[in-house]
A = this chain, B = another copy of it.
Amino acid sequence: MTKPKEVTIYDLARKLNVSIATVSRALKDDPVVSKKTKKKIFDLAEEMGYRYNHFARNLREQRTYTIGVIVPRLNSYFMSTVIAGIESVANNEGYTLIISQSSEKADKEMASAKTMFNNRVDGMLVSLAYDTEDIAHFDQFIKKNIPLIFFDRVADHPDCTNVLIDNRKGAYEATCHLIAQGCQRIVHITATPKRNVYVDRLAGYKQALADHQIPFDDKYILINNLSQEAGAQAAATILQMNPLPDAIFAANDNCAVGCMIALKKAGLRIPQDIAFAGFNNDPVSTVIEPNLTTINYPGYKMGEMAATSLINHLNGVNSIDSTNTILLRSELIIRASSLRTKSDSE
């Protein structure tokens, strides 16, 4: 019933008549220990079911080989893909992940940050919640020289690296594409301007309008939480507009899909009446009819890059702050939801 006693280096040392220092060195494959002794020790360790005690090491080394990850939510295709990327790198390098989701709430984010701080993570990977206003809850890490990397939903901080895509460019391309399809009254559905991704996408949208001499109109900007339901509600707003917009560019695919479904139900034809573009290349974008034009977004790679950069930092490989921003490539994927060029024939 009670846990069997753990085997320690003391046990191994005693049995082999060597010192614990030798055992400790052998187990880390220190070249200073002779091959013969190492073999003896490895074999006995195996035989006795020895397992390494991280806590003793951590206590001594003041490191934990643990990385804290805070994301807005786990159950989004994009985020879980990023985490898969992080995990593969971290695992390879012998790091363990502590993952927490903020559920888009600043206070949960703060609580998670505190937990991770108290768990003495060696480094942090963070993507910010919707309603996080200031990032003071991350100062504790900076102060203790614990590296902090933001990805996707980033914050400007002189001591932190950011890994993200060029959201402005992505949005610019999507909007230009809609304009090239003959659209002039383009609604942009986006989320809180607290987050860079939405600010930048809006900026790209505006830039595209400006470059094509289309006046910017405030009323074409709808702000919500980008959920599928929010997309449906946005559809109701859009249906009130007169004249109706001829295109909708949503800041994520989920919201675009919710909106499309509602508009289709209202009898509008896509793309003939309203063209659509989203963002993320979420799997639903190829399920919805017509398939959704979107920006492909390298989630797995983003996770890999963020984790690699952090671990390099921890190993002192990076000249510190050599990189402050890592930009990944994104691409416009054109699908039927925005293709109006052949509609001439109608």
State whether A84 touches B91 (Cβ < 8 A): no
Whether, in the assembled complex, A35 has its beta carbon less than 8 Å from a beta carbon of chain B, the answer is no
Query: Inside 8 A of A287's CB, which chain B residues have their CB?
Result: 257, 261, 284, 287-288
Question: With A84-B101, A87-B101, A97-B98 known to touch, is A52 a contact of B144 (CB < 8 Å)?
Answer: no
> For the complex, is A240 an interface residue (Cβ under 8 Å from B)?
no
A64 at the interface (CB under 8 A from B): yes
CA A4 to CA B146, docked complex, whole Å: 11
Find out whether the CB atom of A99 lies under 8 angstroms from the CB atom of B97: yes
Min CB distance, A244 to chain B, in Å? 23
Q: How large is the interface on A (under 10, 10 to 19, 20 to 34, 35 or more residues)?
A: 35 or more
B91 contacts A81, C-beta separation under 8 Å = no
State how many copies of this chain the complex holds. Answer: 2
Residues facing B in A274-311 (CB within 8 A) are 283-284, 286-289
- Please list 29 pairs of residues, one from A and one from B, whose beta carbons are closer than 8 Å in the complex, sorted by A's number: A1-B145, A2-B145, A3-B144, A6-B62, A51-B117, A51-B118, A54-B118, A54-B120, A55-B58, A56-B59, A73-B80, A74-B74, A75-B77, A75-B80, A75-B81, A75-B83, A76-B80, A80-B80, A87-B99, A91-B100, A91-B111, A96-B98, A98-B98, A99-B99, A228-B283, A283-B284, A284-B284, A284-B287, A289-B289
